């Protein structure tokens, strides 16, 4: 009988110092990893237990400093960046998207057959700072009580320490990323075509799309034309697609003025599917309204209740804005799904046209695959003449 021997080494904290300062004056000190630098952003938390490579490459986290509540992070390292159909196979985009990472304990000796480097090295390679040794439960309780807030993360050079008083003054003046056009930084600048074997195609309005969304269409034989988020309806329709998908992405949906205008026109002519930010953009395009949530949904176990069948699906979510549940009377939409925890709107459907959207990620990656059928449903709509 063959035997396996695994060498287990005790994780040693980094010798770099780090500090996290929140806009309300709270601060945390810990061990720095990744790049020694200073960054700012909106502090958010995710309760997901696995999937840090996918989370860190999700464009929806642009402008944010991500807190992972699961206490052990980095245990299975970071895989190689292989490509499939020109898309990252193990990541959701071609780079780390959050501006910083906050964790409790960093694993410096990962063990996994696909691991090529540590989480520390990955962040260092991409110029992203991280802090470990933080009481992430305390931080998360604060954000749940007071709401997400702006913050500064500073990782010092070896042998140096952060000046907390200076950071506490500086954090008062950092800009709110949600007031900027975050989508512009994660959308393609020119159309990209992903060819499948079938005869159907969709135009995907790229507001910060995850690669897994594109892969789900390709494996169903549907070609994808990925276009910039500010393309007009005329430019989109010139590709003669069978349908249009509005993707996930970061920030306030009301900043996506061009995408809202284009979606309004296209929904009158073609099947439309929205995912996450796309759910909010579609609702705004139909005359509805959205609002900023207190701390959002970022997890792999959010329960979405189908109001038609009363069936509950477990979903992966990452959003800080939601649809106003009182807006449907003035729109041609109806509420399709609600969150079983807080009753927020999780999905909408047009009353008479082949148009729908959901607030979660049916492609998962990581997370449950309970709602992959939504891609099949949209594929059937593309067959209707």
Catalytic positions: 276, 361, 363
Q: Which pairing describes strands 64-68 and 100-102: parallel, antiparallel, or unpaired? A: parallel
- Alpha-carbon distance 60 to 75, whole Å? 24
3-state class percentages of the chain: helix first, strand second, coil last, to nearest 5: 25, 35, 45
Structure tokens at 22: 């929140």
Structure tokens at 320: 């800080």
In this structure, are residues 249 and 213 in contact, taking their beta carbons and an 8 Å threshold? no
Element housing 290 (H / E)? strand 290-306
- Using DSSP's 3-state secondary structure scheme, residue 363 falls into coil
Give every CB contact of residue 385 below 8 A, 6+ residues apart in sequence.
none
What burial letters (b/e) apply to 193-215, b meaning 16+ CB within 10 Å?
Answer: ebebeeebbbbbbbbbbbbbbbb
- Alpha-carbon distance 271 to 245, whole Å? 9
DSSP 257: H
DSSP 39-64: EEEEEEEE--SS-HHHHHT-GGGTTE
Only one residue has tokens 């193990």, namely 90
- Alpha-carbon distance 209 to 46, whole Å? 19
Is the preceding peptide bond at 206 cis, omega within 30 degrees of 0?
no
In this structure, are residues 339 and 305 in contact, taking their beta carbons and an 8 Å threshold? yes
CB neighbour class for 15 (10 Å; exposed up to 12, middle 13-18, buried from 19): exposed
- Using DSSP's 3-state secondary structure scheme, residue 128 falls into coil
- Alpha-carbon distance 273 to 354, whole Å? 9
Q: Any bridge partners for residue 64, and if so which?
A: 42
């Amino acid at each position: 009988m063959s035997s396996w021997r695994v060498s287990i080494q005790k994780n040693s904290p980094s010798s770099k110092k780090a500090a996290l300062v929140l806009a309300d004056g709270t601060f945390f000190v810990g061990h720095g990893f990744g790049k020694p630098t200073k960054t700012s952003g909106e502090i958010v938390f995710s309760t997901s237990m696995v999937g840090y490579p996918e989370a860190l490459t999700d464009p929806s986290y642009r402008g944010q400093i991500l807190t992972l509540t699961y206490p052990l992070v980095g245990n299975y390292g970071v895989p190689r960046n292989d490509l499939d159909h020109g898309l990252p196979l193990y990541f959701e985009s071609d780079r780390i998207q959050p501006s910083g990472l906050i964790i409790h304990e960093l694993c410096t000796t990962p063990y996994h057959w696909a691991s090529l480097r540590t989480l520390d090295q990955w962040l260092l390679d991409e110029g992203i700072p991280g802090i470990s040794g933080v009481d992430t439960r305390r931080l998360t309780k604060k954000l749940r009580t007071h709401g997400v807030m702006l913050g500064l993360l500073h990782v010092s050079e070896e042998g140096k320490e952060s000046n907390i008083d200076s950071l506490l003054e500086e954090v008062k003046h950092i800009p709110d990323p949600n007031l900027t056009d975050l989508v512009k930084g994660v959308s393609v600048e020119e159309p990209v075509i992903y060819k499948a074997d079938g005869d159907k195609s969709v135009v995907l309005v790229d507001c910060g799309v995850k690669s897994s969304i594109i892969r789900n269409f390709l494996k169903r034989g549907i070609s994808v034309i990925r276009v910039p988020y500010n393309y007009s309806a005329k430019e989109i329709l010139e590709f003669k697609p069978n349908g249009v998908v509005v993707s996930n992405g970061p920030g306030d949906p009301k900043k996506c003025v061009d995408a809202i205008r284009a979606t309004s026109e296209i929904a009158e002519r073609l099947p439309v599917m929205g995912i996450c930010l796309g759910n909010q953009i579609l609702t705004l395009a139909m005359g509805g309204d959205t609002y900023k949530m207190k701390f959002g949904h970022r997890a792999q176990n959010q329960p979405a209740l189908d109001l038609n069948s009363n069936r509950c699906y477990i979903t992966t979510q990452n959003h800080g804005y939601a649809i106003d549940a009182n807006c449907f009377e003035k729109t041609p939409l109806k509420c399709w799904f609600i969150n079983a925890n807080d009753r927020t709107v999780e999905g909408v459907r047009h009353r008479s046209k082949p148009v729908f959207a959901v607030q979660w990620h049916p492609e998962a990656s990581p997370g449950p695959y309970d709602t992959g059928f939504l891609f099949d449903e949209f594929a059937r709509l593309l067959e209707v003449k």
